[in-house]
Structure 1
Amino acid sequence: MSARMTAAPAISIPDLEALIREGVPLVGNFGVSIDELVPGRVRMRMPYKDDFVRPGGTVTGPAMFGLADVALYAAVLSLIGRVELAVTTSMTINFLRRPAPVGIVCEGRVLKLGKRLAYGEVLLFSEDALDEPVAHATGTYSIPPHAPVSVTVSGYRDGGAD
Protein backbone atom coordinates (compact mmCIF):
# COMPACT_ATOMS: atom_id res chain seq x y z
CA MET A 1 0.00 0.00 0.00
CA SER A 2 1.36 3.39 -0.94
CA ALA A 3 1.86 6.03 1.72
CA ARG A 4 0.04 8.55 -0.48
CA MET A 5 -3.70 8.25 0.07
CA THR A 6 -6.22 9.31 -2.55
CA ALA A 7 -9.48 9.10 -0.61
CA ALA A 8 -10.98 9.79 2.79
CA PRO A 9 -11.54 6.85 5.13
CA ALA A 10 -14.93 5.12 4.84
CA ILE A 11 -15.72 6.02 8.49
CA SER A 12 -14.91 9.19 10.44
CA ILE A 13 -12.75 9.28 13.55
CA PRO A 14 -15.64 10.45 15.80
CA ASP A 15 -17.93 7.69 14.46
CA LEU A 16 -15.21 5.08 14.90
CA GLU A 17 -14.35 6.20 18.44
CA ALA A 18 -18.06 6.09 19.37
CA LEU A 19 -18.37 2.61 17.85
CA ILE A 20 -15.38 1.40 19.85
CA ARG A 21 -16.81 2.83 23.11
CA GLU A 22 -20.31 1.45 22.50
CA GLY A 23 -19.69 -1.68 20.45
CA VAL A 24 -16.47 -2.88 22.05
CA PRO A 25 -17.01 -1.54 25.59
CA LEU A 26 -14.16 -3.48 27.24
CA VAL A 27 -11.56 -1.79 25.04
CA GLY A 28 -13.68 1.37 24.83
CA ASN A 29 -13.25 1.71 28.59
CA PHE A 30 -9.47 1.61 28.14
CA GLY A 31 -9.64 5.25 27.00
CA VAL A 32 -8.38 4.45 23.52
CA SER A 33 -8.21 7.40 21.11
CA ILE A 34 -7.45 7.67 17.41
CA ASP A 35 -4.64 9.99 16.32
CA GLU A 36 -4.83 9.32 12.58
CA LEU A 37 -7.13 7.40 10.25
CA VAL A 38 -6.59 6.99 6.50
CA PRO A 39 -7.85 4.23 4.23
CA GLY A 40 -6.29 1.00 5.43
CA ARG A 41 -4.24 2.54 8.26
CA VAL A 42 -4.79 3.78 11.79
CA ARG A 43 -2.67 5.22 14.58
CA MET A 44 -4.19 4.87 18.05
CA ARG A 45 -3.14 5.30 21.63
CA MET A 46 -4.11 3.78 24.94
CA PRO A 47 -3.33 5.95 27.97
CA TYR A 48 -1.53 4.54 30.98
CA LYS A 49 -3.77 3.30 33.77
CA ASP A 50 -2.78 1.57 37.01
CA ASP A 51 -5.20 -1.23 36.01
CA PHE A 52 -2.91 -2.08 33.06
CA VAL A 53 0.16 -2.88 35.16
CA ARG A 54 1.03 -6.47 35.95
CA PRO A 55 3.55 -7.81 38.47
CA GLY A 56 7.00 -6.68 37.44
CA GLY A 57 5.80 -3.15 36.61
CA THR A 58 4.97 -3.66 32.95
CA VAL A 59 1.84 -3.14 30.86
CA THR A 60 -0.28 -6.29 30.85
CA GLY A 61 -0.51 -8.37 27.68
CA PRO A 62 -4.34 -8.51 27.59
CA ALA A 63 -4.53 -4.69 27.43
CA MET A 64 -2.05 -4.60 24.54
CA PHE A 65 -3.88 -7.44 22.78
CA GLY A 66 -7.20 -5.58 23.11
CA LEU A 67 -5.61 -2.45 21.66
CA ALA A 68 -4.14 -4.42 18.73
CA ASP A 69 -7.48 -6.09 18.01
CA VAL A 70 -9.44 -2.85 17.97
CA ALA A 71 -6.72 -1.17 15.87
CA LEU A 72 -7.06 -3.82 13.18
CA TYR A 73 -10.86 -3.45 13.38
CA ALA A 74 -10.42 0.30 12.84
CA ALA A 75 -8.09 -0.19 9.87
CA VAL A 76 -10.58 -2.59 8.25
CA LEU A 77 -13.54 -0.25 8.84
CA SER A 78 -11.53 2.62 7.35
CA LEU A 79 -11.85 0.71 4.07
CA ILE A 80 -15.33 -0.86 4.28
CA GLY A 81 -17.26 1.63 6.40
CA ARG A 82 -19.42 0.93 9.43
CA VAL A 83 -19.84 -2.83 9.15
CA GLU A 84 -20.18 -3.61 12.85
CA LEU A 85 -20.36 -7.38 12.38
CA ALA A 86 -16.87 -7.58 10.90
CA VAL A 87 -15.24 -9.86 13.46
CA THR A 88 -11.82 -11.21 14.34
CA THR A 89 -11.32 -14.74 13.04
CA SER A 90 -7.72 -15.06 14.16
CA MET A 91 -5.08 -12.94 15.82
CA THR A 92 -1.55 -13.61 16.95
CA ILE A 93 0.60 -11.31 19.05
CA ASN A 94 4.29 -11.50 19.75
CA PHE A 95 5.59 -9.56 22.72
CA LEU A 96 9.01 -8.25 21.73
CA ARG A 97 10.20 -6.34 24.77
CA ARG A 98 8.95 -5.26 28.17
CA PRO A 99 6.98 -2.01 27.88
CA ALA A 100 7.40 0.64 30.55
CA PRO A 101 4.30 1.53 32.58
CA VAL A 102 3.36 4.35 30.19
CA GLY A 103 0.77 4.78 27.45
CA ILE A 104 0.90 2.52 24.40
CA VAL A 105 0.78 3.80 20.81
CA CYS A 106 -0.05 1.45 17.95
CA GLU A 107 -0.08 1.56 14.19
CA GLY A 108 -2.35 -0.83 12.32
CA ARG A 109 -2.63 -1.47 8.63
CA VAL A 110 -4.56 -3.73 6.30
CA LEU A 111 -2.21 -5.76 4.12
CA LYS A 112 -4.91 -7.50 2.08
CA LEU A 113 -8.61 -6.76 1.72
CA GLY A 114 -10.82 -9.29 -0.03
CA LYS A 115 -14.58 -9.62 -0.27
CA ARG A 116 -14.91 -11.81 2.82
CA LEU A 117 -11.59 -11.52 4.66
CA ALA A 118 -9.13 -8.80 5.61
CA TYR A 119 -5.61 -9.46 6.84
CA GLY A 120 -3.40 -6.95 8.61
CA GLU A 121 -0.76 -6.16 11.16
CA VAL A 122 -0.34 -3.91 14.18
CA LEU A 123 2.88 -2.61 15.75
CA LEU A 124 2.70 -1.44 19.37
CA PHE A 125 5.13 0.99 21.01
CA SER A 126 5.66 2.46 24.48
CA GLU A 127 4.93 6.20 24.41
CA ASP A 128 8.44 6.85 25.67
CA ALA A 129 10.19 4.73 22.99
CA LEU A 130 8.47 5.12 19.63
CA ASP A 131 11.43 3.75 17.70
CA GLU A 132 11.32 0.18 19.08
CA PRO A 133 8.11 -1.88 19.04
CA VAL A 134 7.07 -3.71 22.20
CA ALA A 135 4.72 -6.06 20.33
CA HIS A 136 3.69 -7.12 16.83
CA ALA A 137 0.29 -8.58 16.01
CA THR A 138 -1.22 -10.04 12.87
CA GLY A 139 -4.84 -10.88 12.35
CA THR A 140 -7.67 -11.77 10.03
CA TYR A 141 -11.13 -10.23 10.07
CA SER A 142 -14.23 -11.84 8.60
CA ILE A 143 -16.34 -9.38 6.64
CA PRO A 144 -20.08 -10.10 6.38
CA PRO A 145 -22.03 -9.20 3.25
CA HIS A 146 -22.55 -5.44 3.16
CA ALA A 147 -23.15 -2.59 0.76
CA PRO A 148 -19.76 -1.86 -0.80
CA VAL A 149 -17.98 1.41 -0.11
CA SER A 150 -15.75 2.61 -2.91
CA VAL A 151 -12.37 3.51 -1.46
CA THR A 152 -9.28 3.53 -3.64
CA VAL A 153 -5.85 3.94 -2.18
CA SER A 154 -3.02 4.69 -4.55
CA GLY A 155 -1.71 1.35 -5.76
CA TYR A 156 -4.34 -0.65 -3.85
CA ARG A 157 -7.92 -1.60 -4.65
CA ASP A 158 -10.65 -3.19 -2.59
CA GLY A 159 -11.74 -6.60 -3.71
CA GLY A 160 -9.13 -9.30 -4.46
CA ALA A 161 -9.75 -12.96 -4.05
CA ASP A 162 -9.86 -14.37 -0.52
Structure 2
Amino acid sequence: MGEQGRGDAPRVTIEQAQQWLGELFAPWVQALGLRVTRIEPGEAELLMPFSPQLCRVGGTVCGQSLMAAADTAMVFAIASGLGGFRPMTTVNQTTGFLRAIADSDVRIVARVLKPGRTLTFGEVSMFSAADGKLAAQVTTTYAML
Protein backbone atom coordinates (compact mmCIF):
# COMPACT_ATOMS: atom_id res chain seq x y z
CA MET A 1 0.00 0.00 0.00
CA GLY A 2 1.64 3.45 -0.70
CA GLU A 3 2.37 6.37 1.57
CA GLN A 4 -0.26 7.13 4.14
CA GLY A 5 -2.09 10.37 4.91
CA ARG A 6 -3.70 11.15 8.28
CA GLY A 7 -4.43 8.05 10.29
CA ASP A 8 -4.78 5.11 7.96
CA ALA A 9 -6.10 7.15 5.00
CA PRO A 10 -4.18 6.60 1.76
CA ARG A 11 -2.02 9.50 0.55
CA VAL A 12 -3.42 11.44 -2.42
CA THR A 13 -0.87 12.08 -5.18
CA ILE A 14 -0.57 15.09 -7.48
CA GLU A 15 -1.35 12.84 -10.43
CA GLN A 16 -4.51 11.53 -8.78
CA ALA A 17 -5.66 15.06 -7.90
CA GLN A 18 -5.00 16.29 -11.43
CA GLN A 19 -7.04 13.36 -12.76
CA TRP A 20 -9.96 14.34 -10.48
CA LEU A 21 -9.77 17.84 -11.91
CA GLY A 22 -10.42 16.42 -15.38
CA GLU A 23 -13.12 14.00 -14.29
CA LEU A 24 -15.07 15.50 -11.38
CA PHE A 25 -15.26 19.24 -12.07
CA ALA A 26 -17.44 21.21 -14.47
CA PRO A 27 -15.97 22.19 -17.86
CA TRP A 28 -15.89 25.89 -16.88
CA VAL A 29 -13.76 25.01 -13.82
CA GLN A 30 -11.47 22.96 -16.06
CA ALA A 31 -11.19 26.03 -18.34
CA LEU A 32 -9.35 27.84 -15.53
CA GLY A 33 -6.32 25.71 -16.46
CA LEU A 34 -5.56 24.83 -12.83
CA ARG A 35 -2.53 22.66 -12.08
CA VAL A 36 -2.03 20.86 -8.80
CA THR A 37 1.54 21.59 -7.69
CA ARG A 38 1.55 20.19 -4.14
CA ILE A 39 -0.80 18.02 -2.13
CA GLU A 40 -0.38 16.86 1.45
CA PRO A 41 -2.91 15.64 4.01
CA GLY A 42 -5.24 18.59 4.61
CA GLU A 43 -3.38 20.93 2.26
CA ALA A 44 -3.24 21.62 -1.46
CA GLU A 45 -1.41 24.10 -3.65
CA LEU A 46 -2.56 24.92 -7.16
CA LEU A 47 -1.39 27.24 -9.89
CA MET A 48 -3.82 29.13 -12.12
CA PRO A 49 -1.94 30.24 -15.25
CA PHE A 50 -2.56 33.82 -16.33
CA SER A 51 -4.94 34.14 -19.27
CA PRO A 52 -6.63 37.22 -20.72
CA GLN A 53 -9.82 35.11 -20.77
CA LEU A 54 -9.82 35.20 -16.94
CA CYS A 55 -9.51 38.99 -16.78
CA ARG A 56 -12.04 41.72 -16.36
CA VAL A 57 -11.96 45.10 -18.06
CA GLY A 58 -8.64 46.68 -17.14
CA GLY A 59 -6.63 43.46 -17.48
CA THR A 60 -6.74 42.14 -13.91
CA VAL A 61 -7.74 38.59 -13.01
CA CYS A 62 -11.46 38.71 -12.21
CA GLY A 63 -12.84 37.86 -8.79
CA GLN A 64 -15.10 35.13 -10.17
CA SER A 65 -12.13 33.13 -11.46
CA LEU A 66 -10.24 33.65 -8.19
CA MET A 67 -13.22 32.47 -6.13
CA ALA A 68 -13.75 29.40 -8.33
CA ALA A 69 -10.04 28.55 -8.07
CA ALA A 70 -10.12 28.93 -4.27
CA ASP A 71 -13.19 26.70 -4.02
CA THR A 72 -11.54 24.05 -6.18
CA ALA A 73 -8.28 24.16 -4.20
CA MET A 74 -10.19 23.68 -0.95
CA VAL A 75 -11.90 20.56 -2.32
CA PHE A 76 -8.43 19.10 -2.93
CA ALA A 77 -7.23 20.05 0.56
CA ILE A 78 -10.26 18.34 2.13
CA ALA A 79 -9.98 15.25 -0.10
CA SER A 80 -6.28 14.91 0.67
CA GLY A 81 -7.05 14.90 4.39
CA LEU A 82 -9.62 12.16 3.82
CA GLY A 83 -7.29 10.13 1.62
CA GLY A 84 -9.67 10.37 -1.34
CA PHE A 85 -12.48 12.30 -2.93
CA ARG A 86 -15.82 12.40 -1.12
CA PRO A 87 -18.89 14.37 -2.22
CA MET A 88 -19.12 17.75 -0.49
CA THR A 89 -20.72 21.10 -1.12
CA THR A 90 -19.70 24.65 -0.37
CA VAL A 91 -21.80 26.13 2.45
CA ASN A 92 -19.93 29.40 2.83
CA GLN A 93 -17.05 31.15 1.10
CA THR A 94 -15.95 34.62 2.15
CA THR A 95 -13.28 36.29 0.06
CA GLY A 96 -11.28 39.37 0.92
CA PHE A 97 -9.60 40.86 -2.14
CA LEU A 98 -6.43 42.62 -0.98
CA ARG A 99 -4.80 43.59 -4.27
CA ALA A 100 -5.27 43.04 -7.98
CA ILE A 101 -3.33 40.46 -9.98
CA ALA A 102 -2.37 41.47 -13.52
CA ASP A 103 -0.14 39.65 -16.01
CA SER A 104 0.75 36.95 -13.49
CA ASP A 105 -0.11 33.36 -12.66
CA VAL A 106 -1.95 32.88 -9.38
CA ARG A 107 -0.56 30.63 -6.63
CA ILE A 108 -3.37 29.16 -4.50
CA VAL A 109 -2.68 27.56 -1.11
CA ALA A 110 -5.59 25.80 0.64
CA ARG A 111 -5.51 24.39 4.16
CA VAL A 112 -8.09 22.56 6.25
CA LEU A 113 -8.46 24.30 9.62
CA LYS A 114 -10.97 21.95 11.24
CA PRO A 115 -12.13 18.74 9.59
CA GLY A 116 -15.45 17.38 10.71
CA ARG A 117 -17.90 14.58 10.07
CA THR A 118 -20.59 16.96 8.77
CA LEU A 119 -18.80 20.30 8.32
CA THR A 120 -15.21 21.12 7.40
CA PHE A 121 -13.63 24.57 7.76
CA GLY A 122 -10.69 25.89 5.79
CA GLU A 123 -8.73 28.85 4.52
CA VAL A 124 -7.23 29.70 1.17
CA SER A 125 -4.50 32.24 0.44
CA MET A 126 -3.98 33.49 -3.11
CA PHE A 127 -0.73 35.09 -4.27
CA SER A 128 0.58 36.75 -7.39
CA ALA A 129 3.17 34.28 -8.67
CA ALA A 130 5.15 37.18 -10.13
CA ASP A 131 5.95 38.92 -6.85
CA GLY A 132 4.68 36.52 -4.16
CA LYS A 133 2.38 39.15 -2.64
CA LEU A 134 -0.87 38.10 -1.00
CA ALA A 135 -3.80 39.09 -3.24
CA ALA A 136 -6.81 37.40 -1.65
CA GLN A 137 -7.71 35.60 1.57
CA VAL A 138 -10.63 33.17 1.68
CA THR A 139 -12.44 31.39 4.51
CA THR A 140 -14.61 28.39 3.68
CA THR A 141 -17.12 25.97 5.14
CA TYR A 142 -18.10 22.73 3.40
CA ALA A 143 -20.87 20.26 4.16
CA MET A 144 -19.68 16.69 3.87
CA LEU A 145 -22.30 14.66 2.01
Pairwise TM-score range, normalised by the shorter structure: 0.7 to 0.9
Quote the residue 1:90 is aligned against: 92
- The runs of 5 or more residues in structure 1 that have no matched partner are 1-5, 145-162
Supply the AA of the counterpart residue of 2:139. T
Quote the residue 1:136 is aligned against: 137
* 2:122 paired residue among 120, 123, 128: 120
Q: Where in structure 1 do 4 or more consecutive aligned residues deviate above 4 Å?
A: none
- The runs of 5 or more residues in structure 2 that have no matched partner are none
Aligned-CA RMSD value: 1.6
Quote the residue 2:22 is aligned against: 21
What is the Cα deviation at residue 22 of structure 1? Answer: 2.0
Matches for 1:10-159 after TM superposition, within 5 Å: 10-25=11-26, 26-130=28-132, 132-144=133-145
Supply the AA of the counterpart residue of 1:139. T
Quote the residue 1:3 is aligned against: none
2-structure distance, mates of 1:41, 1:99 = 23
Supply the AA of the counterpart residue of 1:18. Q
CA contact (8 A) 2:29 2:68 kept: yes
The normalised TM-score by structure 1 is: 0.79
Q: Which has the higher contact order (CA 8 A, sep 6+)?
A: 1
The normalised TM-score by structure 2 is: 0.88
Q: Could you list the per-position Cα deviations for residues 135-156 of structure 1 after superposition, in whole angstroms to 9, with x for gaps in the alignment?
A: 0011011112xxxxxxxxxxxx
